[in-house]
A and B are shown apart, each in its own frame.
Chain A
């Protein structure tokens, strides 16, 4: 029996376990929308911008581990998804984006709302399809989900010409997928893993650098087991935050440009780096030629192209972090008894000394709100039990530095692409997946304006997302660079008029709250957390505040700048409760 293309698409999505689609309609996808009108067991959430839809699918995927789905129309609808797709690609996030396309016979004619979205997104998808035959629909969707979610995950786009979704065809759901040219290596090479275990036993000053791959492969428990077993300190990259508890005694926090003093020092002094599911991004390594000069490097990654791309690797292990760590832990446990505590004693002492010398800290003020203080209060008020998303800029770095995460999939941030406007829709996507969880977007006043329209989406679907706007009236991170490296020439980084975010929230029938003094911060947060609606919290912060430590671009990561601005005696130097 023949059924409509629209039915095949939607029923295939349901077979893949999809319950939510983020989307926006238009001419060539109307058959799909029509089928969705009364389809059971699957719900489309209407966003206010297609970029929002892709980030929501992404936030949904990051928080759940499932594939996020977006559905948009051709032409401008499709091109509006590009930033969301590129964001997901850079951070290896599994999403499937369905775009409408003009009818097959019009393709190539510059038809109304035609865009070659398959061509446009070829470099920023893991794979993409133009479906030319209705009978291929089910197979294509099955393959797309398989490719998006296996190996190194990533976005897949499926372009659906109108005659494909509007026409009639056969629906045969393939039980299995077999792509002869796609076979990711999941198990690591045992010999290499044994070598890694030997290095671990030999090393006097080892460090683990854990990245987003640990989270993507659900290997947090295995990472923890390895670290505790062999007493190796762990630093988590921006993407790896949550893969290892920040409050764990072996945690070093984040490395790199805005990393902790002790993480960067540990890397530079180490004799062994065990890099897991991370790709030596330049924000992590700083000057490559001066990176970890004494270290033997073990690199575990599912993507062979990540290995030896930019740093020399002594022991490459291609495989899924989960599988490799499981094997590595077995080997370590079966090996000869090592007095791990004993052999690491001096190194762990050294790390404690560094933590003591330069802990993560900021200058507290009684009169003006410091952004780090807001984040500390958010942590206290939620007890850490929240999903945090971020925008990009100083807000992102302060969130990464000062909130504490003990579970994977609770920190969602655009790491690779650094997309302003990501955090708010991503928070909405996460809230859709976890309606009862506290979800907070830690935002900048610039970034929030890049997808502020999605407040309507949050309001309509009663998604009580909270947005903490660190309002410094500046594109703060740009301003910081201009202050430090461009002789304080603040070219176009002042936002001049920032809207009244409280009124904006109210205009959308959400709730707006404002804190202008440190004493108002906690009450505003408590009020927001009590509110069952979306809330914008407008924190008017010290616009002068900068993110420290900072490694200037191109410098080695032990060349860190610290906050020297105010004379110490004038301000109460406040240490955070030590990250021991």
Chain B
């Protein structure tokens, strides 16, 4: 099963390496990891996407908790949450498909963030399904490269009542 785990850590020197080292040292897989500051600049949040049997994921959660610099671990698997990822795609479509690429970008609410005589760079934000779907569609149209941000996620606020 794939789990998205949100980890609050002390924003200290070496903390990313402690978390990454935990995964590599114990042979857990990481699909993506992204890190950023929070409201409190002393705290960062890492969003980690990992995959494994239940017992492994239970261990991952516990091992993360055990790290001295980890303040809080929240496995979002059973939690209602919002996920987003961003991808930047550089694409060099043949002349006759240029318009189609732009049309697709619009359908996906993407933006052209750079262009050159031969290429467009398009930014798409969304959940994983949306990003995968877009990549699928444009792949035959001359994708040169793309970069993904890795997922970030946040639990939904419970609505009252």
- State the A residues within 8 Å of B (CB): 118-119, 122-123, 126-127, 130, 132, 147, 179-182, 303-305, 308-309
Q: How far is the CA of A186 from the CA of B62 in the complex (A)?
A: 16
Find chain A residues with CB under 8 A from B21 CB: 122-123
Contact of B66 among A119, A122, A123, A304 (CB under 8 A): A304
A–B pairs, 8, beta carbons within 8 Å: A119-B14, A119-B17, A130-B13, A181-B69, A181-B71, A303-B66, A305-B59, A305-B63
Q: How far is the CA of A181 from the CA of B9 in the complex (A)?
A: 8
Find chain A residues with CB under 8 A from B25 CB: 123
Q: Is B58 an interface residue (CB 8 A)?
A: yes
Find chain A residues with CB under 8 A from B55 CB: 308
Contact of B10 among A118, A147, A181, A309 (CB under 8 A): A181
Q: How far is the CA of A179 from the CA of B65 in the complex (A)?
A: 14
Contact of B70 among A126, A132, A181, A303 (CB under 8 A): A181
Q: Is B18 an interface residue (CB 8 A)?
A: yes
Q: What are the nearest 3 A-B pairs in CB distance?
A: A181-B71, A305-B62, A127-B68
Find chain A residues with CB under 8 A from B13 CB: 130, 132
Instruction: List 19 additional A-B contacts (Cβ < 8 Å) besides A180-B71, A181-B69, A304-B62.
Output: A118-B14, A119-B17, A122-B14, A122-B17, A122-B18, A122-B21, A123-B21, A126-B68, A127-B68, A130-B13, A147-B68, A181-B9, A181-B68, A181-B70, A182-B68, A303-B66, A305-B63, A308-B58, A309-B59
**Which chain B residues numbered 58 to 100 have a C-beta less than 8 Å away from chain A?**
58-59, 62-63, 65-66, 68-71
CB < 8 Å A-B pair total: 36
Q: How far is the CA of A123 from the CA of B23 in the complex (A)?
A: 11
Chain A: which residue is nearest B18 at the CB level? Answer: A122
Q: How far is the CB of A317 from chain B (nearest CB, A)?
A: 15
Find chain B residues with CB under 8 A from A122 CB: 14, 17-18, 21
Chain B: which residue is nearest A307 at the CB level? Answer: B62
Q: How far is the CB of A121 from chain B (nearest CB, A)?
A: 11
Contact of B65 among A118, A119, A132, A304 (CB under 8 A): A304
Q: How far is the CA of A309 from the CA of B26 in the complex (A)?
A: 12
Q: How far is the CB of A127 from chain B (nearest CB, A)?
A: 5
Among B17, B58, B66, B70, the most chain A Cβ lie within 10 Å of the Cβ of B66
Chain B: which residue is nearest A306 at the CB level? Answer: B62
Give the dominant DSSP class at B's interface. helix
Q: How far is the CB of A71 from chain B (nearest CB, A)?
A: 22
Contacts A118-B14, A122-B18, A130-B13 given: A179-B68 contact, CB under 8 Å? yes
Q: How far is the CA of A303 from the CA of B18 in the complex (A)?
A: 18
Q: How far is the CB of A466 from chain B (nearest CB, A)?
A: 39
Q: How far is the CB of B28 from chain A (nearest CB, A)?
A: 12
Q: How far is the CA of A236 from the CA of B55 in the complex (A)?
A: 27
Q: How far is the CB of A397 from chain B (nearest CB, A)?
A: 29
Find chain B residues with CB under 8 A from A305 CB: 59, 62-63, 66
Q: How far is the CA of A118 from the CA of B13 in the complex (A)?
A: 11
Find chain A residues with CB under 8 A from B18 CB: 122
Q: How far is the CA of A303 from the CA of B59 in the complex (A)?
A: 11
Find chain A residues with CB under 8 A from B62 CB: 304-305
Find chain B residues with CB under 8 A from A180 CB: 71
Find chain A residues with CB under 8 A from B10 CB: 181
Find chain A residues with CB under 8 A from B14 CB: 118-119, 122, 130
Chain B: which residue is nearest A122 at the CB level? Answer: B21
Q: How far is the CB of B69 from chain A (nearest CB, A)?
A: 6
Q: How far is the CB of A301 from chain B (nearest CB, A)?
A: 11
Find chain A residues with CB under 8 A from B66 CB: 303-305
Q: How far is the CA of A127 from the CA of B62 in the complex (A)?
A: 16
Find chain A residues with CB under 8 A from B9 CB: 181
Q: How far is the CB of B13 from chain A (nearest CB, A)?
A: 7
Find chain A residues with CB under 8 A from B68 CB: 126-127, 147, 179, 181-182
Q: How far is the CA of A119 from the CA of B14 in the complex (A)?
A: 8
Chain A: which residue is nearest B55 at the CB level? Answer: A308
Q: How far is the CB of B72 from chain A (nearest CB, A)?
A: 8
Q: How far is the CA of A303 from the CA of B65 in the complex (A)?
A: 11
Find chain B residues with CB under 8 A from A119 CB: 14, 17
Find chain B residues with CB under 8 A from A309 CB: 59
Among A130, A132, A182, the most chain B Cβ lie within 10 Å of the Cβ of A182
Find chain B residues with CB under 8 A from A181 CB: 9-10, 68-71
Q: How far is the CB of A343 from chain B (nearest CB, A)?
A: 34
Q: How far is the CA of A363 from the CA of B62 in the complex (A)?
A: 48
Q: How far is the CA of A309 from the CA of B60 in the complex (A)?
A: 10
Q: How far is the CB of A11 from chain B (nearest CB, A)?
A: 25
Q: How far is the CA of A127 from the CA of B71 in the complex (A)?
A: 15
Q: How far is the CA of A181 from the CA of B55 in the complex (A)?
A: 24
**Which chain B residues numbered 5 to 49 have a C-beta less than 8 Å away from chain A?**
9-10, 13-14, 17-18, 21, 25
Chain A: which residue is nearest B24 at the CB level? Answer: A123
Find chain A residues with CB under 8 A from B59 CB: 305, 308-309
Q: How far is the CA of A182 from the CA of B68 in the complex (A)?
A: 6
Chain B: which residue is nearest A126 at the CB level? Answer: B68
Q: How far is the CA of A118 from the CA of B18 in the complex (A)?
A: 11
Chain A: which residue is nearest B8 at the CB level? Answer: A181
Find chain B residues with CB under 8 A from A303 CB: 66
Q: How far is the CB of B93 from chain A (nearest CB, A)?
A: 44
Q: How far is the CB of B48 from chain A (nearest CB, A)?
A: 17
Chain A: which residue is nearest B9 at the CB level? Answer: A181
**Which chain B residues numbered 81 to 129 have a C-beta less than 8 Å away from chain A?**
none
Q: How far is the CA of A119 from the CA of B25 in the complex (A)?
A: 13
Q: How far is the CA of A118 from the CA of B9 in the complex (A)?
A: 19
Find chain B residues with CB under 8 A from A147 CB: 68
Q: How far is the CB of B63 from chain A (nearest CB, A)?
A: 5
